[in-house]
Structure 1
Amino acid sequence: MNNWFKQNGIHLAIVGIFFAICFVYFTPAFKGKALGQNDVTRAQSTQKEIMDYRAKDTTILWTNQVLGGMPTFQIWAPYSANITSHIISTIKSIFPNPVDTVLLLLLGSYLLLCVLKLNPWLAAAGAIAFTFSSYNIILLVAGHSNQSFAIAFFAPILAGIILALRGKYLLGAALTAFFLAMEIRANHIQMTYYLMFAIMILVGIELYHAIKGKTTATFFKSIGYLALATLLAIGVNASSLWSTYEYGKDTIRGQSNLTQNTKEPSNGLARDYTYEYSQGVAECLTFLVPNVYGGSSSTTAGEDSKVAKVLIDKGVDPTQAVNFSQQLGLYWGDKPFTEGPNYYGAVIFFLFVLGLIIVKNRIKWWLLGAVLLTVFLSFGKNLPFLSDLFFNYFPLYNKFRAVDSILAVAMLCFPVLAFLAVNEVIATKDKAPLFKKLLIALYITGGICLIILVVPDLFLSFRNSQNQMLTDQLTQIFKGDSGMANTVVNALTQDRISVARSDAFRSLVFVLLAFGLLWAFIKQKINVTVLSVAFLAITLVDLWTIDKRYLKDESFVDKQDVQQPKPRDIDQMIMRDSDPDYRVFDTSQPIKTDAFTPYFHKSISGYSAARLKRFDELIDNQFSKSINQDVLDMLNTKYIITTDPKTQALSMHANETACGHAWFVKNVKYAQTADEEMQAISSFDPANEAIVDNKYSKLIDEKQSALDTTGFIKLVSYSPDHLVYQSGSTTPQIAVFSEIYYDKGWKMMIDDVEKPYFRADYVLRAAQIPVGNHKIDFIFHPASYYTGEKISMASSIILVLVLIGALFLETRKKNFGVPAEAKK
């Protein structure tokens, strides 16, 4: 045991340093405070009904709280048969948010760099560089928890793959299976998908060298192990992946139902929506100089700004001038909004450039290829030829938006190559030629900083496409004084130049520090340990100081003060209604992004990136231009909240024409296409007629369905995934239920015997109810989840056994590293 501690003491020390860094940076989290994360707060409204039932030890897989009703697969589901669910739960119970994610980022990237045979201090420096890249910190502030968690497993997955490719077949495959299972469980498929690009490039380069070196047999043996590892990771996540795959076909990422009056593509997301967050080509300068594009969208001209000075010189009251200047944003890129730049670190950027020049390992070409591909794809609409090629022809690429998020892959590649460069300097025996190459890297990196510092507007305009609109708005504010408006806009441009210059000088200082350290080492002024620890220190300082612009101690608040919606008087009035299942429509909230109404009521609005396609089409066609009262009625919208256009006062009125939970209709009208069906519900009487797709006509016997005026159907028991109705009639009846139609899991039972049902009124459920008194159950029991859970359980057991076996065998060998004969 003592020998084990001696052999691994330095690793334990570095893990201790990681804990110390987390404690210092996230001290408020250890004191019980929480981040006031916007996206987490928004998610709470979507999860409200789910968590209410969870508090009663009941798991529901369907919620009626948001967007009329939808499965919970992409909102929250337990997936309790999946071993990784319990591991994640344990980690989150031990460490406060976001420390759990940060530690995973640090430890995972440290493992990768150790596998690449860097000394522990350099590996630690690289782990810090990756973890504290501004994008990771900004994600934590914004509350993109799943995305951050998924990114945390990029590095260890790659570590497992590299181990397998270098001859550690079982250990590499076992680690790959485990970390890939964790990655998939993080439930951010977009990030996992982007990681695949980096893996494909790595495998392609390894295949090339295997063919060149005539070692294809060992290469394909590695691939075989990795293929089995991938299948095992998929099996562990069978319930979530199967449910997501099945559900995805019916979401906004699936095929469009309409061919007319729709802006949606026939399949996938709309191109403009996908490219909305495209990285500007020149905006990549933020990798080196963080505020060259002004920082975040919320960064404004301040008290000492040129805008404030101009206004004061024009006679504006100083307080008003400062307040006005603080309303003008410094960000001048073309993204609709940004929380901050992708800053990889001036030290890292310099070392990355040096790595391109001096690193001989073929890993360099993998890292360069991954960086080039992901950076080019991040340009989206700014490089349409390549982006459209992938959007139109690459499987699943058009299912994801915010293409700039693919830079998470480049964010990992930069520090890996950066510290491989330092390792190359250390390992090179003849260091004399290195100095010239070091100077080249300095001239390139330092030169960029100098240009931005001395002549920033030589290549950059510091203006965007919104400048003319801003000038026009200011002209109106200044009562037609366009000269004053142009003066303010020019002052704003100078403020943008000022912050760019400031950060360019800052970055130049760190580049010179990095250069100085390598020069001192080459000249034998310092040893390897001092060099490595010094790089760890300056990398941490470089990134820490930028990150503190976005995640400060003030970002944490007492948990009871975390912003949560508070019911208004009208909400409290509505909540007195004891009816368990009705809907509320709040016209004061945006339908597709409403994070308020679903927190208190079952709503037809709400936010979900995986909302049902048909309901999305319903909103676009029946609510975008005007509110269709007939559709509100069929959705059992019992209360409508409106805003007085003059006073902005809120009022609520009960909708007396709401159709209720279920009702019998007099007749059925058939539609041949979805377009006809949508057109038919634009003006109809939902209480008396049902609009049904002709393909369901075989399920309806209209000859026997004369309306029984004394007949009834009512909801007698409510649970989101189990609704019970009681009916009575003297003739067979066509019943429409104010519940959203989704045929992959919902079953209808009449007197405990399964019967068919169909879709009516574009989005609702309907069925023919036989004569007499009956109990009608709608039960949501998707096979994709329940059968998937059984597969997950079996795969989880296998994964644990494989991990134990691989670690046991490796311990016996007492060699965790890459075999010496496989080093290249």
Structure 2
Amino acid sequence: MSKASAKATRNKKSAKSSAILGKKTLREPLQKDSSFIPEKYEDVLALGFLWVAIVFFFWPVLFGGKVFLVPDNTASLSISTFLEEAKKEGLFPLWIPYIFSGMPSYGSLLATGDRSFDFLYVLWQGAIRLFVLPMSKEAGWIVLYYFIFGAGIYALLRQKSATAFQSLVGAFGGSFATLSVVWVTVGHNTKVVAVAMIPYALLFAERLRQKEGWKQFLLNSALLAMVLHVLVRSTHVQMIYYAVMAFGAYFLFELIATLSKKEPVQRWLQSAAGFLIAFLIGVLMSADTYLSVMEYSSHSIRGAESITKTYPELAPESADSKPTSGTGLSYDYATNWSFAPSEVITFFVPSYYGYGDQTYWGPQIFTHSPNFFGASILILAIVGLIYYRKEAFVQALAVVGVLALLISFGKYFPLLFDPLFNHLPFFNKFRAPSMILVLLEISACVLAGYGLKAVFEVRAADENESERVPFRFAAIGSSVLFLASVVGVSGCKTSYFEGLSKSDIGQQILARYGREVPNVIAQFGQPIFEMMKTDLFISMMLAMFLLVGIFMFIERKVPAVVFQVGVMLLVIVDFWRADARLLDGVKSAQEQQQYFQATDEVKFLQEKAESEKFRILPLVADRKSNWYAYFKLESVGGYHAAKMQLYQDLIATVGGGSTEHPSFYNSPAMMDLLNLRYIILSRAAEIPGFTIVFSGSKTILERNNWAPRAWFVKNVEQKSDKEIIEAIQSSSFNPRETAFLSSPAPEGIDAPSAETNLKITNSGLHQLDLAVKTTGKHFLFLSEVFYPAGWKCLIDGNETEILRTNFAFRGVIVPAGAHEVKFVFEPTSFAIGKYLALFSNIFLVLVLGFLAFDWVKNRGEKNKEAPTEK
């Protein structure tokens, strides 16, 4: 049949349908049936629908009294009393004494305080709190960022001429992708804040390129600066780094596209310059944070070299140490959670490797959920990429998405990952390469909006038959595949179980239960296989409905209203079936309150801490290691992803490598140096040199003859770091009599006499005061972690040098006489950063104020010039 006769036949069918319906033909122009909502209400209603959907999904934690009681959230809540204590003392919380025998709390991004000098961000936070006032204080603010994220994708698509409906689908994908929804359920809240700003940054980058005039340049640069400031303030450095990589790839690709088309580069230069200026301002507004981070980084496991790398023999064979390279993490540690290429199937079938946690059997160490961002979104994104493949912005999105996917492979794709790890600045400071997949998610969601644009354009293009053919084949193919999956998936059970048995999880199951439980793999894998099969059916069915619906729509057999409602329902079902499982683990708020109730052993320790300074070592499994910090009890263990390297070296060489439960009790010298007094056990047990002093819900052992927080030593000797560690491991010296320095030992140190004494007179978060009386030139050892970037020692008001003593602690030389010795924490980086942040805020306010004044002035002049109607 010729094209002309085919068209005539189609027209006859259309006319017949119109006669039967007695209504207007479905073959009317696109603009007449693309939306059933008045244009002026489209954006408000679309974003309102998105917000209602988000609130409905998160209802249990917003209004139902439920909370995400997960390790990362409890770790944050564990330091809430520390923040209250700092506020009460009138301090910005820069140092926390309650974990790892003390460490920087601000430079390590563990905590923050009142940043009133960053007043624009204070206003932003105030607006967030006001908006979510009726909701849960703990969950409301972070749930709002999911809406902000989706609204950013929506605004970006609207900027690229997508309709409200097309933009809404992309926005819904961003807000509900399992890949990012999982973050709030596991307490990774700062990731959400960072990612929510990425679409806005691209939006303003596009506006900088498209809008003319210096006032538009100033306005878009200023708004972009605020967007980038919120991104930077998220303090999730890894996500910020990936965002910057995406922006760099975007601008590089736009430059290549401009040059290849031989277009003027002025627009590109305008956009790039505005972006760089905005980024500089946005970073300077957080200068206090990032100067502190940069300063701390050189002392942390992500910047300093481990002693076990230089001297591997120092680490016991049983130690689970992670030596660093001196500029970042070790390769093995950094590539944990590499996304294996085989897991790409979870983009379409979320539970192929199980859904997460106990059901997961894929290549990663573990995961809480699949990296799923919607089968429907994936299909629409492919349509958008194919149809708009010649558009530079689409090409840039595709490049960013593909690069993100390849980088996420990590150790499974060393051809790309290894050069980046070895040569790209700061790249080797991050672990979990799979985290970068969020850039693929954003690209796919925006491209999905383009995909729906393509569908509507093909529908409007009556004369172009060739563009309809692929949709016809896609509809037929998806139907065939759906039927094939229904018929054939059950026959794949054997091969599925074989893959499970060969996986790391499968091997562990076989090693543990294989001899006792017959067909243990089948028993473990059967429910997972059924879950996978259900997900496969749903994905294939949704794909079939979507592609058949698209074909019927472009053939004018389905009205636009029905098509839009149908697509929206498909997208909702697609995400809801995967996301709903993420809320299975929510707990009641009462459980959280009970979790932080003081137990009998806590009350015992708090009573002891009122009169003496000491540290504890919790060795209990039912409490997270930072839990005791909630009760302001100082611990030698803890949890943090970027510990101080000196302390990590002690853990690796003397503590057996266990960060949360270091076995420091094996070395009497180490226990002296740490001021360790109590060990907490789940049940009664004997440890040499300890006596049981409390039996209740937990057992508390007190060390016999425990060492105080500070003392004077008789001898000071110089030894290498290796020799010092070996002496601590073997306890071949008495720390109460001898101190080791890595630097040259001072001469003329006098041994303390009977008249020598010291007393701690004041103890605060950032200060420790001692009243001392010496009979000569004495050496004072202090059981506090050595950190040169901020700690100062003042003897009678005069600063004296703090010497790194016994590898990781502090020592000072005290002259003869009665003295007041003060240790204070006053990092210069924070003080400088505060002023830079303040001045950047003022500058941005002046720019916005000038633009607002100019707008009001021009509007007034236009009103005066307008003719008055009689």
TM-score (norm 2): 0.83
* TM-aligned CA distance change 1:448 to 1:694, over 3 Å: farther
* TM-aligned CA distance change 1:195 to 1:583, over 3 Å: same
Aligned to 1:677: 724
- Aligned runs of 1:609-628 on 2, under 5 Å? 609-624=641-656, 627-628=666-667
3-state SS of paired residue (1:368): helix
Q: Distance in 1 between matches of 2:563 and 2:853?
A: 36
Aligned to 2:341: 281
Q: Distance in 2 between matches of 1:458 and 1:435?
A: 40
1:442 to partner: Cα distance: 5.3
Q: Distance in 2 between matches of 1:369 and 1:446?
A: 31
3-state SS of paired residue (2:588): strand
Aligned to 2:323: 264
Larger relative contact order (CA 8 Å, sep ≥ 6):
1
Which deviations, in whole Å up to 9, do the C-alpha atoms of 1:731-757 show, x marking residues without a partner? 121001111111111111111122221
Identity %: 25
Q: Distance in 1 between matches of 2:493 and 2:397?
A: 32
Aligned to 2:170: 126
8 Å contact kept, 2:95–2:102: yes
Q: Distance in 2 between matches of 1:443 and 1:386?
A: 38
Q: Distance in 2 between matches of 1:624 and 1:12?
A: 58
Determine which of 633, 640, 643 is the counterpart of 2:672. 633
Higher alpha-carbon deviation: 116-125 or 638-647: 638-647
Q: Distance in 2 between matches of 1:791 and 1:691?
A: 40
8 Å contact kept, 1:280–1:382: yes
Aligned to 1:206: 254
* TM-aligned CA distance change 1:398 to 1:273, over 3 Å: same
The amino acid of 1:184's aligned partner reads: V
1:443 to partner: Cα distance: 7.2
1:342 to partner: Cα distance: 1.2
1:574 to partner: Cα distance: 1.5
* TM-aligned CA distance change 1:159 to 1:208, over 3 Å: same
Aligned to 1:81: 117
Q: Distance in 2 between matches of 1:190 and 1:376?
A: 17
The amino acid of 2:162's aligned partner reads: L
Q: Distance in 1 between matches of 2:398 and 2:575?
A: 22
Aligned to 2:762: 717
* TM-aligned CA distance change 1:440 to 1:583, over 3 Å: farther
Determine which of 460, 466, 469 is the counterpart of 2:508. 469
- Aligned runs of 1:149-168 on 2, under 5 Å? 149-167=193-211
- Aligned runs of 1:69-148 on 2, under 5 Å? 69-73=102-106, 74-78=109-113, 79-82=115-118, 83-92=120-129, 94-95=131-132, 96=136, 97=139, 98-148=142-192
Say if 2:775 is the partner of 1:759. Answer: no
1:444 to partner: Cα distance: 7.6
The amino acid of 2:530's aligned partner reads: S
The amino acid of 1:80's aligned partner reads: S
Q: Distance in 2 between matches of 1:217 and 1:790?
A: 35
The amino acid of 1:675's aligned partner reads: K
* TM-aligned CA distance change 1:126 to 1:9, over 3 Å: same
Q: Distance in 2 between matches of 1:551 and 1:395?
A: 38
1:538 to partner: Cα distance: 2.4
Aligned to 1:45: 78
Say if 2:111 is the partner of 1:54. Answer: no
Which deviations, in whole Å up to 9, do the C-alpha atoms of 1:791-822 show, x marking residues without a partner? 101111222343455677789999xxxxxxxx
Q: Distance in 1 between matches of 2:124 and 2:292?
A: 21
Say if 2:772 is the partner of 1:727. Answer: yes
* TM-aligned CA distance change 1:521 to 1:570, over 3 Å: same
Determine which of 598, 602, 627 is the counterpart of 1:571. 602
- Aligned runs of 1:207-606 on 2, under 5 Å? 207-212=255-260, 213-258=262-307, 259-261=310-312, 263-267=322-326, 268-298=328-358, 329=359, 331-359=360-388, 360-428=390-458, 429=461, 430-439=463-472, 454-455=488-489, 456=492, 461-463=499-501, 464-478=503-517, 484=518, 487-526=519-558, 528=560, 531-552=563-584, 555=586, 557-558=588-589, 561-562=592-593, 564-577=595-608, 578-579=610-611, 581-588=613-620, 594-600=625-631, 601-606=633-638
1:723 to partner: Cα distance: 1.3
Higher alpha-carbon deviation: 760-769 or 469-478: 469-478
* TM-aligned CA distance change 1:447 to 1:709, over 3 Å: farther
Q: CA RMSD in A?
A: 2.9
3-state SS of paired residue (2:338): coil
Determine which of 53, 66, 73 is the counterpart of 2:99. 66
1:231 to partner: Cα distance: 0.7
Q: Distance in 2 between matches of 1:446 and 1:812?
A: 62
Q: Distance in 1 between matches of 2:428 and 2:479?
A: 38
The amino acid of 1:655's aligned partner reads: R
1:587 to partner: Cα distance: 2.9
8 Å contact kept, 1:46–1:66: no
The amino acid of 1:344's aligned partner reads: F
* TM-aligned CA distance change 1:402 to 1:443, over 3 Å: farther
* TM-aligned CA distance change 1:442 to 1:76, over 3 Å: farther
Which deviations, in whole Å up to 9, do the C-alpha atoms of 1:153-211 show, x marking residues without a partner? 12111211222233463343223211110011011010011112221221111101222
1:524 to partner: Cα distance: 2.2
* TM-aligned CA distance change 1:447 to 1:350, over 3 Å: farther
3-state SS of paired residue (2:776): coil
* TM-aligned CA distance change 1:411 to 1:677, over 3 Å: same
Higher alpha-carbon deviation: 95-104 or 173-182: 95-104
Higher alpha-carbon deviation: 357-366 or 498-507: 357-366
* TM-aligned CA distance change 1:807 to 1:222, over 3 Å: farther
Say if 2:46 is the partner of 1:14. Answer: yes
Q: Distance in 2 between matches of 1:459 and 1:391?
A: 36
> Which structure 2 segments of 5+ residues have no match?
1-36, 316-321, 658-662, 687-694, 860-870
Which deviations, in whole Å up to 9, do the C-alpha atoms of 1:594-617 show, x marking residues without a partner? 233333321011101121111011
1:760 to partner: Cα distance: 0.4
1:445 to partner: Cα distance: 6.9
8 Å contact kept, 1:350–1:442: no
Q: Distance in 2 between matches of 1:37 and 1:247?
A: 30
Q: Distance in 2 between matches of 1:417 and 1:36?
A: 32
* TM-aligned CA distance change 1:345 to 1:687, over 3 Å: same
* TM-aligned CA distance change 1:716 to 1:160, over 3 Å: same
Q: Distance in 2 between matches of 1:624 and 1:778?
A: 31
Which deviations, in whole Å up to 9, do the C-alpha atoms of 1:339-392 show, x marking residues without a partner? 111111111111122223212322222122112111111112222332222211
3-state SS of paired residue (1:576): helix
Between structure 1 and structure 2, the one with the greater Rg is 2
